[in-house]
Every structure is written in structure tokens, then in C-alpha cells.
Amino acid sequence: MTQLLPGLAQPAPKLAIDLNHVAWVVTKGDLTARFTWMITNGEPCMVILPTSMPYKSEYSRPCIVTLNQAFRWAEPPIGDPVFIKDMLEEFATPLGFGKHDNKRKNRVLALIRDNLDILIEMPPLPDDSREVVADVLHRDHDTGKITHREITDHV
């Protein structure tokens, strides 16, 4: 059954992160960075949330910095200033400040840059966060050979 978001006629997106599985937590003032993994592909990521308002709702929109985008947050010439400006403006509302609050945007940027090394050094997603949810038997009609596979999902 497809779950609908309240008041919207569109399906809820599949959860991308699970903050019950966190490798590290860094708090700097009113901002907290939680280091976890994307459920969909196991990619390490940094999730930034207000310290006073922990992530609880499946409808919340956390601010996520993925490992494959980490280089874009670096200092120039490697970093991408246009990307950083756009993302900080996008992060403003979920983090509870205005798009034009440059002081807060600089604090978010400092939190990200100060902790890129943690993101880069994160281990792979632990296997204990996945469970077998189904078994599949496949019979090759030409040879009669039966192959067994387990289907796993993040739980």
C-alpha cells in the first residue's frame, strides 16, 4: 500500500536515512551533525539538524551532505561556491533561519567543512542494519538448476 503525505496527493518518499544507525555525532552550538549512511545505497553522509529539535518525523526534511558531494563543500579552488551558496539557502528553512542570515549560513558551512574528514573516513554501512525480508527460488528451465537468493532490506 502506498502511503500518502498528509494534505498531498503524492506518495511519501522512501526513507533515505535512519538516524537510529549513527556512527558519530558532533554538536557545535545550536547545530548537530550526525554521521550515518544513505539507506538506498549505503553511502556515508552527514545530516545537519538543529540541536534543540532532534529529527523525529518521517516528514522532516534534514540537511544532508553525501560523501560523493563532499568535495564541493571544500575551500576553493576545489569547492564549488555556487553550489555552496545554493545549498546553504536551501538548508536555511529546515535549520530554522532565513535565507539572508549570512552569520548562520557561515556557521553551517564551518560545521560542514570542519567535519568533512569524519565523513571521508566513515566505514561502510554495517551489515547488521539489513535483514532478510524474502527468499527467492529461481529454476533454470533449460537445466533444471535451482538457485536460491535472499532479499534484504534496511529495517
Sequence ranges of the domains in the chain: 24-128
What local confidence, expressed as pLDDT, does residue 131 receive? 63
**Entry pTM:** 0.73
Question: pLDDT digits over 111-143, tens only?
Answer: 999 999 999 999 998 876 556 667 777 788 898
Ranges in the chain, pLDDT < 50: 1-13, 59
Strands (E), the chain: 24-28, 31-37, 44-50, 63-66, 130-139, 146-154
What local confidence, expressed as pLDDT, does residue 126 receive? 82
What local confidence, expressed as pLDDT, does residue 2 receive? 42
What local confidence, expressed as pLDDT, does residue 150 receive? 67
Cell of residue 100, nine digits: 539572508
What local confidence, expressed as pLDDT, does residue 52 receive? 84
Dist CA 77 CA 142 (whole Å): 58
Bridge partners for 17 per DSSP: 38
